Amino acid sequence: MKIAILGAGAFGGALAVALGRERPVTLWGRGLEGRQIARLPGITLPEAVSVTPDLAAIAPADAVLLALPMQALSAFSADHATLLRGKALVACCKGVDLRTGLGPVELLAQLEGGRAPAVLTGPSFAADIARGLPTALTLACTDETLGAQLQHALSTPVLRLYRSTDVIGAELGGALKNIVAIAAGVVIGAGLGDSARAALMTRGYAEMQRFALARGARPETLAGLSGFGDLVLTCTSQLSRNFRFGQALGAATPFDASQTVEGVATAKAVAQIAAKDGIDMPISTMVAALVDGTVTLGAAIQSLLTRPLKQE
């Protein structure tokens, strides 16, 4: 299986490093020059990675990994539909498209005549993958045969892929945990303490399940790497941009606007869907309001603490 990676940011770059240590792979990215990845300081791409600024050079690839920010995926896949159609597409982004309310797999499935798209998601910081540290991810695809082929083609001795057919559960786990990570960052930034963060993560997980199950996900997927696993990682590590963004919000300190923080747009998308479909998502709704500036930090905390007491 010939593999191409689109997007030479942190995650695309890290996947190229990991796969390029084992087999040939092509990496395309905007403004990619030389063999360094701007988002991965100190990392050099292995020899087996062919770097190209020309998108047409990925034409021979059988499998294409799309490591772009979620909000760029819809326009990108539509603009390059002819090149992408017929290939095994693997979405490597975490989020919900704000304009359509669709996840990455659902967006890629709109390329008519294509194969069943897959999603690669789970607890994995690009910096860890690039350093060759052990990582486990979920590869979800409704086509079991294709899913197994991708699982084997994309696994390495330190990058272990677990297979699933629950694409909705896998993509929603990765999308929703970023919203909870922002909220967890707010809790820590505002000085509310580790106990409050544990409560927030637990109630956030309940909210993730409620939303995902309403959209057809399987509960065991949410309990796996792409849900619970990634929730724990992202809510507890300073390496997470979503967590750090929330921390800055909670502490009222500046945050580098050039960083990709997927939970911001995803919180808005999820809050809109939850309101329309009547799904109780208090944390996501509050994060959406906080990042929009329609509620103050004090009011947001107060509103979550004064919800009616109920059964767990």
Ligand X SMILES: O=C(CO)COP(=O)(O)O
Strand partners, 120: 139
Q: What are the structure tokens assigned to 74, written together?
A: 């819809």
Q: Which residues bind ligand X (CB under 6 A)?
A: 94, 123-125, 178, 181, 230, 233-234, 240-242, 262
Q: What residues numbered 105-134 form the site for ligand NAI, per CB under 6 A?
A: 124-126
User: Could you tell which of ligand X, ligand NAI, none binds residue 183, using a CB distance below 5 to 8 A set by kind?
Assistant: none
Q: Which is nearer to ligand X, 241 or 268 (CB)?
A: 241
Whether 268 sits among the annotated catalytic residues: the reply is: no
Selection from ligand X, ligand NAI, none that 234 binds (CB < 5 to 8 A by kind) is ligand X
Task: Name the active-site residue from 2, 177, 276, 310.
Answer: 177
Task: Using CB under 6 A, pick the residue from 3, 9, 119, 217 that binds ligand NAI.
Answer: 9
The interface partner of residue 7, options being ligand NAI, ligand X, none and the CB cut-off 5 to 8 Å by kind, is: ligand NAI
The amino acid at residue 95 is G
Q: By CB under 6 A, is residue 29 in contact with ligand NAI?
A: yes
In this structure, are residues 153 and 88 in contact, taking their beta carbons and an 8 Å threshold? Answer: no
Nearest distance in Å: CB 226, ligand NAI: 10
**Binding site annotation covers 8?**
yes
Interaction partner, residue 221 (ligand X, ligand NAI, none; CB < 5-8 Å by kind):
none
Cα 212 vs. chain centroid, distance in angstroms? 15
* Minimum distance from residue 309 beta carbon to ligand NAI (Å): 35
Sign for the CA dihedral angle at 237, 239, 243, 246 comes to positive
Q: Are 186 and 168 in contact (CB under 8 A)?
A: no
Comparing CA positions, the residue from 224, 222, 258 lying closest to residue 241 is: 258
H-assigned helices in the chain: 10-20, 70-79, 81-84, 104-108, 126-130, 144-154, 167-189, 194-214, 219-222, 230-236, 241-251, 262-277, 282-292, 297-305
Q: Judged by CB under 6 A, does residue 96 bind ligand NAI? A: no
* 298 has binding-site annotation: no
Binding string to ligand NAI for residues 229 to 268, with x set by CB under 6 A, is what?
Answer: -------------------------------x-x------
- Tell me whether residue 183 is annotated as binding: no
Residue type, 24: P
State whether residue 3 is helix, strand or coil. strand
Report the alpha-carbon distance of residue 150 to residue 174 in Å, rounded.
19
Q: How far is CA 296 from the centre of its chain?
A: 27
8 touches, from ligand X, ligand NAI, none (C-beta below 5 to 8 Å by class) = ligand NAI
* 195 annotated among ligand-binding-site residues: no
User: What's phi and psi for 209, nearest 5 deg?
Assistant: -65, -45
Asked if 92 interacts with ligand NAI (CB under 6 A), we say yes
Q: Which residues bind ligand NAI (CB under 6 A)?
A: 7-12, 29-30, 39, 67-70, 72, 76, 92-95, 124-126, 260, 262
Q: Which residues are catalytic?
A: 177
Which residues does the annotation place in the binding site for NAD(+)?
Answer: 7-12, 126, 241
